[in-house]
Structure 1
């Protein structure tokens, strides 16, 4: 059977040891991981199967994690993880979308095998893939266990990437650059918005001559014309007019690691005021980037960005950055640190952020961004698309 594993076994062992160390600190005996990025991080598992109940179990006295999923996806677990077959468990299809059977009862049975009837069990209460019904079924099946919110326990460990992870994210950055170039080349008057979106999707997957891309965990944001003041708008099938603004955010995804990139493209001649706004946005973005170095906090970086913006009488309400890494639908952000006022997370080499200081004002929007890895002395850009306004 083929094996599609992108890291050495030692890397997975280091990750697992870090998770178990945190479990000890929090007094957790068994950790139930429902979030696909965390499952991928600890086992390598990668398949589009997370629309049915799926779990990775980490137990203090069990050498490997245990993957649990739908029976037909067991083969993907064998192909994409380093786990022994004994630690790949699958429930019958009768549990899938059943009105009477719960896959979480099956999972609870494996917890019992591990001696977890009275354990302190950590679960991801804030996760996208831990439904209220699932939690209710688990607590009913394990009435003597103590359930503890362990949301983001793995997320905070994932925040600092290994050199091997950063190497993959450099490739993801190349994919993002290629997709952005394709979009910029495509944008012109009379081209339909949906055709621009289609070109982006094609380039994201076809990638570069050296390597291809994965499906992105979120669609490109094509915010055009009046929708350019909306950060997360969808495209239509309308043709682009002779004069308009296109705010585009997309990403490159390689082995599930995602790097984001946004640029503003103007069809026609932009007004002098809009050109000036783009220069202000780039100035503030560069100020934020130059503030990045190990030992500084997210809040301090945000402060330097806002000082540059304030010199022009502009304020930005939202955060200016978030970490990225392993990405599965519905979102690319890691839900841990944010580059914003009050976030005292200390920057460390290996952290990866999308600095997204988009400006959405009353009647105009502009998005020029930069993904970067924190280096030993500052920051390493992960994309090379020029930080400027593009005019077509």
Structure 2
């Protein structure tokens, strides 16, 4: 099951828990099954048109540096990042050409033109196409009219193939390149405002976990726990509903959960992996705890995973290759007898994070990219033993001029996860 969709079918009404937002609470007297929650987002500044103008200017500088004449970005996260336009990807092309002189040309279906114009906060021409017309030809013509037939166009790497292929078929001698040096060059290094949004999103997520853990009881299902955490995230101020994949007992060995229905019982490990979104920016946290008292083996493996996470932090600084952090965590796991490649530590130790859960750069063997100040990552070592249990601890951090800063503190212990 895709962990991003893990809780979509959760039956919140069946959880038996009422999470009451402060503004909707009629009385300060709550039942034992109710939790009064207040938003914790006061004072947060959100991304505005001025910020996006600066992003376009940075993209312009990078295009000139890398000799791009323009880049094409379709509906998706990068379109929102550069223009603020949230547009659902469909078979109908909607996007923007960003030129090296920092001018914009928006493209969309003619019947959606008014809606597209409503969303525009940065100036630029709007070109539309009727249902019988070819939008790929339109994009190519707009590019060539401004940049020439032999110019260089970057295609954002997440543009779907049918669109990039369609545009390319009308470009003739134009050079087409991956726009990653521009898009990742802008998005991978976060500004202080972005970092503040991410920090608060992670704080909301951790508090939602605390609420969820406080409601653990014999027989609760993984879906009920997921629903409690998701609703708590919204009540705490998340601008987009949080998700939480919950796993119990032997199913904690499935890194992203199992479709098997689970009911909590004494002695089970409980693993929650999830995050909310605030102002377009993601959180991602994993906690593993025990319902009851841990066995010595559970305790030992939990301690190994925390040792690995701590060792990763000790290596986190500007200039260090991304792959070094993965090797550091793997060496700790291997030292304790759970190594041998990916045998019990199934995945890389971390990924970039920002507006997307997973984005540039990845902390994995073979990625020699040096970390830079402002880059954000997850730190999530794990040990998984199918048929027994798994442990993962995850917090996110960013690189500073002098080392790193974590968005959330490490988990104190298996019995005190927050």
Give the shorter-chain TM-score range. Answer: 0.7 to 0.9
How far apart in 1 are the matches of 2:410 and 2:120?
34
Task: Tell me the equivalent position of 1:108.
Answer: 140
Task: Tell me the equivalent position of 1:288.
Answer: 312
Q: Partner of 2:372: helix, strand, or coil?
A: coil
Contact 2:201-2:238 within 8 A present in 1 as well: no
Task: Tell me the equivalent position of 1:371.
Answer: 396
How far apart in 2 are the matches of 1:322 and 1:376?
20
Is 1:351 aligned with 2:375?
yes
TM-score (norm 1): 0.82
Contact 1:38-1:155 within 8 A present in 2 as well: no
Task: Tell me the equivalent position of 2:238.
Answer: 212
Unaligned runs of 5+ in 2: 1-44
Is 1:156 aligned with 2:185?
yes
Given the alignment, which residue of 226, 245, 270 partners 1:197? 226
Q: 1:70 to 1:215 in 2, by over 3 A?
A: farther
How far apart in 2 are the matches of 1:187 and 1:372?
28
Contact 2:153-2:175 within 8 A present in 1 as well: yes
Decide which moves more: 105-114 or 73-82: 73-82
* Residue 231 (structure 1) shift: 1.2
Task: Tell me the equivalent position of 1:228.
Answer: 252
How far apart in 2 are the matches of 1:34 and 1:215?
24
Q: 1:374 to 1:81 in 2, by over 3 A?
A: farther
Q: Partner of 1:220: helix, strand, or coil?
A: strand
Give me the CA root mean square deviation.
2.9
* Residue 152 (structure 1) shift: 5.5
Contact 2:75-2:86 within 8 A present in 1 as well: no
* Cα deviations by residue, 1:303-362 (Å, 9 ceiling, x for unpaired): 4333433332232633211110012xxxx111x322234432222221111111122234
Q: Following superposition of structure 1 onto structure 2, how do residues 1-392 of structure 1 map, counting pairs within 5 Å?
A: 6-7=46-47, 9-34=49-74, 36-47=76-87, 49-52=88-91, 53-61=93-101, 63-70=102-109, 81-84=120-123, 86-91=124-129, 94=131, 102-124=134-156, 126-127=157-158, 130-151=159-180, 153-206=182-235, 208=236, 211-215=237-241, 219-234=243-258, 238-315=262-339, 317=342, 318-327=347-356, 332-334=357-359, 336-362=360-386, 363-384=388-409, 386-390=411-415
How far apart in 1 are the matches of 2:404 and 2:336?
25
TM-score (norm 2): 0.77
Contact 1:175-1:253 within 8 A present in 2 as well: no
Q: Partner of 2:354: helix, strand, or coil?
A: strand
* Cα deviations by residue, 1:180-225 (Å, 9 ceiling, x for unpaired): 223322333211222222222212323x2xx333245xx5333333
